[in-house]
Amino acid sequence: MYSRTGTIVNETGLHARPASDFIKAANRFKAKIKIRRKEVPTDVNAKSIVSLLTLGLEKGAEVVISAEGEDETQAVNSLFDLIETGLKE
């Protein structure tokens, strides 16, 4: 298992459109990917838009993304690349 912690930087947080982009990126990988707020111990499926939106990730929210599987490191790092660039917003 591989995981990283980071911060949502885009002004509008992870609302529907950037969440959709995040889901598309997550679905490119075979690994099982989870995401959660840093302060909350419950993970959700990072490949499910409904689950992702329930987290209510606003600007400044700290998140932990973890993955398990053959491409786990690439998956987590790729998703953090999206987050760190503000999900192109």
How would you classify residue 4: left for phi > 0, otherwise alpha for psi between -120 and 50, otherwise beta? beta
- Catalytic annotation, pick one of 2, 12, 15, 43: 15
Q: State the Cα–Cα distance between residues 25 and 88, nearest whole angstrom.
A: 13
Helices (H), 1-89: 16-26, 49-54, 72-84
Query: Does residue 22 contact residue 79 with C-beta atoms inside 8 Å?
Result: yes
Please confirm, yes or no, whether 45 is among the known catalytic residues. no
Which residues carry out catalysis? 15
